[in-house]
Structure 1
């Protein structure tokens, strides 16, 4: 399994109504988070500790909240908020 990201919970449903340009910005930042998590956790599947704290990322047009689950080798986008700025 290799690292990737995906929408989780209600974020997937909220993404259906968000503008394409905003979602493109979310995807760019989510890809960056995946690369960082992969570099930091080289042996993700055998990880024994707690998962790192997630966070909020501001992108043009809004923001999103993410969580890294190391043993799944996933970055989950758990909430998106389109603000239109």
Structure 2
């Protein structure tokens, strides 16, 4: 498995109604966060430590809430807020 991100449970539930330009910013920031997590957790599938806390990422036009799960090698976008 390789590192990636996804909406949890799905894009329609998490980001439904947000403008495409805003979602492009969210996805760009998610890509950056995934690259950082992949560098920090070199082999996430074997990670045995305490899981990291979730976080908020600010992007132009709003922010999103995410959770990193090293053993899944995933960043899950849990909530998107368009202001």
TM-score (norm 2): 0.93
Map of 2:70 onto structure 1: 70
Map of 1:53 onto structure 2: 53
Quote the Cα distance in structure 1 between the aligned partners of 2:54 and 2:36: 13
1:20 counterpart = 2:20: yes
Runs of 4+ displaced beyond 6 Å: none
TM-score (norm 1): 0.91
Alpha-carbon spacing, 1:50–1:64, altered in 2? closer, same or farther (3 Å): same
Deviations 1:45-84 (A, max 9, x none): 000011111110111111000110000000000111010x
Please provide the CA RMSD for this pair.
Answer: 1.3
Q: Does the 8 A contact of 2:14 with 2:78 survive in 1?
A: no
More helix by percentage: 2
Alpha-carbon spacing, 1:3–1:10, altered in 2? closer, same or farther (3 Å): closer
Aligned residue pairs: how many?
83
| Structure 2 segments unaligned to the other structure (5+ residues) | none
